[in-house]
Amino acid sequence: MAWKKKFDEDKVLNKAMNAFWQNGYDGTSMRQLIGCMGLNPGSIYATFGDKKALFFKTMDCYTNQVREKHRELKKNNTPRGLIMALFDEMISTIQASPKHNGCFMVNTALDIAPQDKEIHKYISRWFEEMEEFFHHSITEAQKAGEIRKNLDSAKTARHIISLMCGAQVLARVNPGHLMIEDMKEQIGNILS
């Protein structure tokens, strides 16, 4: 008889993601994962694989959530408005987070990516995807006349990413810092 799962895979994956997000990859033990996911070790290994495989699945979960947020915000915003709405969303999330976790992917980039080639490759692809997303949004905003045509969209996309990453790092230390709001204002000025 085939083994049947008696749990919601997405829910337990989110619990694992939050554990990794809060404690980092190295700081999260299998014992902690077993506790927070509410599963026995056999169920975890059978469903997700070992700790590293589970970590990759949590990164997939996070990136899918980010993509979904982008699609959702895109429905009600112009291309320039989408970029600004993402900053608003980021600031709201930072200010609402009592644990000051920052961004899962930025944390991973700082925490483990330098020591692990596979994770480094994954994070690099994610940042490339974000760069392409902003590059495309800026180009579309230029076509729509929302952003001046002479703005270098590729450089500006990288600039936006650096400001967002900086805000996420700062959020781990001081989420109420005025610099985070200043970063949004700076992006608005750049995208004029």
What per-residue confidence (pLDDT) applies to 183?
A: 83
What per-residue confidence (pLDDT) applies to 102?
A: 81
**Candidate CATH numbers 3.30.70.660, 1.10.1040.10, 1.10.10.60, 3.40.50.150; the one for domain 8-59:** 1.10.10.60
Domain spans, the chain: 8-59, 77-190
Q: pLDDT grade, residue 95 (50/70/90)?
A: confident
Average pLDDT, whole number, for the chain?
89
Class of domain 77-190: mainly alpha
What lies within 8 Å, CB to CB, of 175 at 6+ separation is: 94, 95, 97, 100
Residue 1: is its pLDDT beyond 70? no
Q: pLDDT grade, residue 192 (50/70/90)?
A: confident
What per-residue confidence (pLDDT) applies to 5?
A: 61
Specify whether the CB–CB gap between 184 and 86 falls below 8 A: no
pLDDT in tens, 104-156: 999 999 888 788 999 999 999 999 999 999 999 999 999 999 999 999 999 99
Averaged over 42-68, what is the pLDDT?
94
DSSP codes joined into one string, 88-108: HHHHHHHHH-TT----HHHHH
What lies within 8 Å, CB to CB, of 91 at 6+ separation is: 167, 180, 181, 184
Specify whether the CB–CB gap between 76 and 70 falls below 8 A: no
What per-residue confidence (pLDDT) applies to 175?
A: 65
3-class secondary-structure state, position 190 = helix
